[in-house]
Structure 1
């Protein structure tokens, strides 16, 4: 009888240690998963069950999976990569000066004078047909978030300029992800091929999870663009989105327009000098004036949070149609967050 009691006591101790260890491990793993792409992580829940109730071989398989798919590290590395990109963009004005005041080029190698004109004292876009149409995949920022941002930018920037600003349409705030065809490397397509591309993007959108994002900073580039630079707190990372779109659109240009990690959207484009009265306290130091303007914008907007849940496949019939309110055809897809 004593031997039976001793065995029972030992078994309970071992079982308790095993259960506590499993619960702790499961909790830590859940924390890592919350910072990862949910669409990619679903199959690892099966490994948890194996760990809790299965064999030692399953434990080894699970351990190897963690080694190969370190989601938390991946998320951190993308965040660091974006931060470095944004640091470089913030230095651009110091390194190149306010090139936009000399009618420079856009980030897409287009002359500012080719896309904007001054008419009756106001800036108007110059719309030119895109032949063939540009086919862009963009994440859409809902007006729930874009309108408050746009109103803040206008309120803080307008007083310093005499109608020499082009404000991005708040109903078209977007994050450029991947081009099936762009103006630098056009990829002509038939109607059937375009439909096939759209269907491939629709299928891809179902595997992507909504992005919870936070505005890291506002920067002004040497080309005069006020940009919102964002970080991702959860959801599918932009690097993963672009990789999946690359796989879905094999005919797309090899050279894309933006870094794979970047997540940015245009708020406005400055096209002229600030008012003379705005420069009175800056001794004609334009760069310093612009830095102070950006600093005030950051005080208002940094930390702004939003959720992105739509991927658009856009045929732009005019050059930069999304930026200039041109002609376009939009197919809208909800991010489905389906697991494999």
Structure 2
């Protein structure tokens, strides 16, 4: 009996590890099958190798958590929308531009009309921008003029409708100049051209019109499909290693300037008799612009490499040299 009991005890102990091992293997196999069938997660890709594109926006790390690019842009646009309330109409007192230049540096009044002051950029700025064709820019320009021109006439500068653009990435800018030889510039152009072959055209929608405290009327956009600007900037960063570490705009920003207000509004006699709230007045004009333009859709098919020989040449109709590239949407060029 004692022998039988000892044999049973030994057999049970011999079986235990086998049972545990088989159970663990089965559990691992089930987990593996679940993982294989789960939908893939989307992560940002900012490698030097172009990646295949998808209409799903990549995730961009933030200081707090990983937020979708669209959410990051909405937060940024909300902040921009509050700027006028928080700082007031600084542009009526002579403020600064978004690039730390005083308004008097870039505009002057001649016979009551705003005229740009063109100054040579030394060295020239080298900018990469997405271009909005006149097919889409002209209707926007007309709507903006319809709202703002009656009140400002000569005290407003309208962006040239044939030069609407979205600033992306600078190989050199006025805050951190990067001097380059002709051969180095041509190498940059070739690198940018390679990048554009992997970028898909963007279908975009106007999220809102915003007036900043510096007097800039901006169109703030969201991406419906195509390669997101955050990913494009990542590709350009890898393609242009000599570019300034500090860029001028937020990684996710997709905006274009419609106009810049430089003077006080001209009110009708009836409007002049009423109490005048500057900020509220501008909010009402912006609301009218949003009624006309919010939700406006456009397609972007070109990226330009621009050498600006005058300061802010793109914005002020200055001297520049442009290299235009169609977005190729060819996926990973290494495969």
TM-score between both structures, scaled by the size of structure 1: 0.80
CA deviations over 1:287-315 (Å, ceiling 9, x no partner): 00000000000000000000001000000
Secondary structure of residue in 2 paired with 1:152: helix
Structure 2 equivalent of residue 102 of structure 1: 93
CA deviations over 1:91-127 (Å, ceiling 9, x no partner): 0000000000111100100000010000122100000
How many angstroms apart in 2 are the aligned matches of 1:151 and 1:282? 29
How many angstroms apart in 2 are the aligned matches of 1:321 and 1:282? 40
The yes-or-no answer on 1:67 pairing with 2:41 is yes
CA deviations over 1:46-87 (Å, ceiling 9, x no partner): xxxxxxxxxx9x988966892354874737711110011000
Task: Count residues in correspondence.
Answer: 285
Q: Tell me which of 135, 148, 155 is aligned to 2:139.
A: 148
Structure 2 equivalent of residue 318 of structure 1: 310
Name the CA shift for 1:65/1:183 in 2 (closer, same or farther; >3 Å). Answer: farther
How many angstroms apart in 2 are the aligned matches of 1:288 and 1:208? 41
Query: Higher helix fraction: Structure 1 or Structure 2?
Result: 1
* 1:280 Cα deviation from its structure 2 partner: 2.7
Moved more, 236-245 or 65-74: 65-74
How many angstroms apart in 2 are the aligned matches of 1:241 and 1:94? 32
Q: Any residues of structure 2 matched to 1:283-294 within 5 Å, and which?
A: 283-294=275-286
For structure 2, list consecutive stretches of 5 or more residues without a partner in the other structure: 1-29, 45-53, 60-66
CA deviations over 1:249-276 (Å, ceiling 9, x no partner): 0000000000000100000000000013
For structure 1, list consecutive stretches of 5 or more residues without a partner in the other structure: 1-55
How many angstroms apart in 1 are the aligned matches of 2:33 and 2:172? 46
How many angstroms apart in 2 are the aligned matches of 1:285 and 1:144? 37
On the 8 A contact 1:220/1:227 being kept in 2, the answer is yes
How many angstroms apart in 1 are the aligned matches of 2:274 and 2:230? 41
Q: CA RMSD in A?
A: 2.2
Structure with larger Rg: 2
CA deviations over 1:10-49 (Å, ceiling 9, x no partner): xxxxxxxxxxxxxxxxxxxxxxxxxxxxxxxxxxxxxxxx
How many angstroms apart in 1 are the aligned matches of 2:244 and 2:74? 26
Structure 1 equivalent of residue 216 of structure 2: 225
The yes-or-no answer on 1:263 pairing with 2:237 is no
Name the CA shift for 1:256/1:281 in 2 (closer, same or farther; >3 Å). Answer: farther
Q: Tell me which of 284, 307, 321 is aligned to 1:329.
A: 321
How many angstroms apart in 2 are the aligned matches of 1:126 and 1:193? 30
